[in-house]
Chain A
Amino acid sequence: MAKTYFTEDHEWLRVEGGIATVGITDYAQEQLGDLVFVELPETGRKLAKGDTAVVVESVKAASDVYAPVDGEITEANNALSSDPSLVNSAATGDGWLWKMKLANESQLEGLLDEAGYQAHIG
């Protein structure tokens, strides 16, 4: 049974079997505007919480997306190479950014649940 977590940096994580699928929230994609490029991470890359995992580029600006927890990249969403606008149209679905194997599942306890995130964005 997958469980979804959120961060104050407007990311979501869907965790199932020790693997987290990570993306940005609908609120975040709205703030960024139309995306034109996503710089995806290489599979196998080890990330510490707070490392830049992905750079999303809108018409106007580039923004970093940080690793919300420690782990290793197992897959990047290559569909975004040809269609970065998937992040705008389906931020919490087909517009996911990467999957990572969690190094320390206890870090999930520090994240927000959906109600906590909704309260955060007001």
Chain B
Amino acid sequence: MTGDDTKHLPLEDLHAAVGARFGAFAGWSMPLTYPAGVMKEHLHTREQAGLFDISHMKLFEVSGPGAAALLDRACPLDAGALDISQSKYTFFLNEAAGIIDDLIVTRLGDERFMVVANAGNAAVDEKHLRGLAEDFEAKVDALDRVFLAIQGPEAWAALARAGIETGSLLFMHGIEPRQNWFMSRSGYTGEDGFEIGLPEADARDLVARLLEDERVLWIGLAARDSLRLEAGLCLHGQDITPEIDPASAGLMWAIPKDIRAAGAFIGADALRAIVERGPAQKRVGLKPEGRQPVRAGAALFDADGNQAGHVTSGGFGPSAGHPVAMGYVSTALAKPGAKLLADVRGTKIPIDINPLPFTPHRYRKG
């Protein structure tokens, strides 16, 4: 290997100028924290508005007469049934129904869809989608955009002050408010908020206007992780992987009933078989007793000392005020209130199965 393959955000200079601390994530150099620190950044997002640079994520436009059919093959989705501007959380599945990536698909027009994919999987997703597209009258364009998220109860007001009206846009809907812009009311924090893909020059202008507003602060990847974990949202690569299916992950709500029964998506047969016999393990929320965080990889045991599962994400929840985690446990044990033990560096820490989310979602649904 020669050279450094780390990718850099188009707005990296802006983050560096305000003192961001950078770290590697999914092949990118990302702002992990700003001088306020993860705790304040997290709480600020829940109380006011946090601005996140998520340009490591990838936007694909899928278009053509066969665009809906292509997406129906790639995802357990009825793309043609989506209203224009409606978004849907979905996945690419492999033949074994393992989750290649989780995505948000938004219908932009009769024959046009936006697909938002995770940074770490963008290359795999693009190859997968382009490969499938050969059998459909559809084309896949990877868009070159800065991608920003603004999240929190004041996000809409901060955007309005910056000249962007969001009034009629509801949760899980997306529009193209300007040339080469894509804006959806969605996010990864459990709060009301927006994700906006736009050209770099427009992004610099928007960021400058947003940061004039004292309600808006840059928020790093560390707080993004604690916010999503409190909100019970999965991180692909940890909580869901190509070895985990939507039934085990507790994500069957994302698949419409008729698609579960009769959809012809990749992995359909395998998923139906898993649902038929019941998944062996299930994703659950976990609340450690006391103050000590229990982190990804920790083994879980039942009261008799038998291994019961493992933790896939864990840390401290600044809004919850206690450590929070999620993981997988045997289906028989996967009930709220069940008491388990987590192994942390050889010490067994009591940990309870807890309903998700840890902090209530505050989406603007209508």
Contacts and interface: CB of A to CB of B under 8 A. Distances in A.
B292 interface: yes
A88 B291 CA distance: 17
B315 interface: yes
Name the interface size band of chain B: 20 to 34
B37 A57 contact: no
Contact of A34 (B32, B38, B291, B292): B38
A36 B345 contact: no
Given A39-B292, A57-B292, A59-B222, A33 B345 contact: no
A111 interface: no
Contact of A57 (B21, B38, B39, B293): B293
Contacts of B21: 31
B316 interface: yes
Given A59-B318, A60-B315, A36 B37 contact: no
Contact of B293 (A31, A37, A81, A88): A37
Contacts, number: 45
A38 B221 CA distance: 23
Nearest to A36: B316
A74 interface: no
Contacts of B32: 60
B345 A59 contact: no
A90 B77 CA distance: 54
A25 B30 CA distance: 25
B87 interface: no
A108 interface: no
A62 B316 CA distance: 11
Given A33-B38, A34-B38, A36-B316, A62 B33 contact: no
A58 B292 contact: no
Contacts of B56: none
A62 B293 contact: yes
Contacts of A112: none
Given A33-B222, A34-B37, A34-B39, A59 B295 contact: no
A116 B225 CA distance: 37
A122 B44 CA distance: 32
Given A59-B222, A60-B225, A62-B295, A37 B316 contact: yes
B54 to A, nearest CB: 18
Contacts of B312: none
A57 B293 CA distance: 7
B291 A60 contact: no
Interface in A40-71: 55, 57-62
Given A58-B38, A60-B38, A36 B222 contact: no
Interface in B335-350: 345
Interface of A: 31, 33-34, 36-37, 39, 55, 57-62, 81, 84, 88
Given A36-B291, A57-B316, 19 more contacts: A33-B33, A34-B38, A36-B316, A37-B291, A39-B292, A39-B345, A57-B292, A58-B38, A59-B39, A59-B222, A59-B226, A59-B316, A60-B32, A60-B222, A60-B315, A61-B295, A62-B293, A62-B295, A81-B291
18 contacts: A31-B21, A34-B37, A36-B291, A36-B293, A37-B293, A37-B323, A39-B292, A57-B292, A59-B39, A59-B42, A59-B222, A59-B223, A59-B316, A59-B318, A60-B222, A62-B293, A62-B295, A81-B291
